[in-house]
A and B are shown apart, each in its own frame.
Chain A
Amino acid sequence: GAVVSQHPSRVICKSGTSVKIECRSLDFQATTMFWYRQFPKKSLMLMATSNEGSKATYEQGVEKDKFLINHASLTLSTLTVTSAHPEDSSFYICSARKGGDGQPQHFGDGTRLSIL
């Protein structure tokens, strides 16, 4: 149980394009979803936390207008990278967590975003 599906797994697009990444919890309801960015050989950097039906809470230094997060239902959150540029190229990973104290975060397989 606790499967998180992230789509697409890989995106290559031109500079200036907007890219949408989907994160779905397949067999549980995710009260909270998280978006991370991971640079090569580095740890995960939390970008934002989103609760269903609420605005996302962004970490310091993360541009809200650049990285649009929508958490429309208990099983779906989306991250849209608007007007992407080469410096936005990275590995983006989502995770989802059930409600309740001590619940672990379950991760998707990530999206490799390459902006040319």
Chain B
Amino acid sequence: KQEVTQIPAALSVPEGENLVLNCSFTDSAIYNLQWFRQDPGKGLTSLLLIQSSQREQTSGRLNASLDKSSGRSTLYIAASQPGDSATYLCAVQRGAGSYQLTFGKGTKLSVIP
């Protein structure tokens, strides 16, 4: 059974700092990996999707990497801003033919002005 772990559960950084969020998964046979952001009282917003054949994806100040063989992904946030404060979740899609996502429990990020 696939398990997704995100460490740390919470992170507090000063504004302007670059930071890395970590995600690990136990079964490397994945179809893709997705990073989401969740604001309090809201649903999840998709940030980046990395297909299993890709190594990284970039969107603005966000860069996500994927190392399938080691079962790891990182989300890099450059020049953090208070508006980046949210919970970040990663999820892996099981395989071709299955749409099921297995989620980590998230890292709660606080960016202090």
A and B part of one assembly: no
